[in-house]
Amino acid sequence: MSENPVAIHIVDDDADVRDGLAWLFDSRGCKAHVWDSGGAFLDAARALHGQWGQAVVLLDIRMEPLSGLVTFEQLKALGCPWAIVFLTGHGDVATAVQAVKNGAWDFLEKPFQDNVLVDRVEQAMQAMQARSADAQELQRLRQALACLSPREREVLDELLHGHYNKNIAEHLGITARTVEFHRANIFEKMGVESAIELAHKLGQLQPVDIGPKNDPAAP
């Protein structure tokens, strides 16, 4: 299993299923948290107060009194980003497919092979980690943008429009040497080595994040 800490939650009202799945993941070096009902699981999720971390949830689609689908919808209403893998019988496949369309990560039809389940959870873990890394990179970019001076934001906007140093200097009424100075500072703060890399990274942000901050008094 993945070395990075991604929690596994098993939510099933069948004790034999819970214990069997917990043993399976324990044998692969990954401890799982088990819940005997959707309500108990949701109570634990609410207690986190939005400090979600990363987790994969194996959620039985047929449970009483709270079904897997209702549990899933309530988890979404909390804003929880965890990857949900539904465990379903043949008669519930269509329902599970619809749940995936509504935001669940995947589903497995019972009976399933242990290796298939473990592989599917590993894939979900990797997806969670990649999503977390992307979110961290976006946050870093926003923080780096906030550290740019007003003049650097103007030069940044010119760079994103593909303008050369000479054109930027003419547009902003500064020397080409000053443009080179600001350009170097922008690249350093943003953690890039070229204008193309800069444009690629900032393309991940919304336009409102990268618009220039004009200040006539900027040096």
Give the percent of the chain with pLDDT over 90: 58
Q: Do the domain assignments include residue 108?
A: yes
DSSP tag of 86: E
| Residue 216: exposure state from Cβ atoms within 10 A (0-12, 13-18, ≥19) | exposed
Q: Domain for residue 218, yes or no?
A: no
Please indicate, yes or no, if residue 123 is contained in any of the structural domains. yes
CATH of the domain at 116: 3.40.50.2300
Confidence of residue 195 (pLDDT cuts 50, 70, 90): confident
- Tell me the C-alpha distance between 151 and 101, whole Å: 45
Chain center to CA of 49? 18
The mean pLDDT of 15-27, rounded to a whole number, is 94
Comparing CA positions, the residue from 219, 119, 210, 17 lying closest to residue 127 is 119
Q: Which of 118, 137, 156 is the last residue of a domain?
A: 137
Q: Which neighbouring-strand residues pair with 57?
A: 9, 84
69/25 same-domain check: yes
Q: How many distinct structural domains can be found in the chain?
A: 2
The mean pLDDT of 118-126, rounded to a whole number, is: 91
Last residue of a domain, one of 115, 137, 159: 137
Residue 50 resides in a domain = yes
Which tens digits make up the pLDDT trace of 110-119? 889 999 999 9
How far is Cα 108 from Cα 135, in angstroms, rounded to an integer?
Answer: 28
Average the pLDDT over 43-55 and give the result.
92
Q: According to the model, what pLDDT value does residue 131 have?
A: 77
Where does a domain end: 87, 115, 137? Answer: 137
Tell me which of 53-62, 68-77, 160-169, 210-219 is least confident. Answer: 210-219
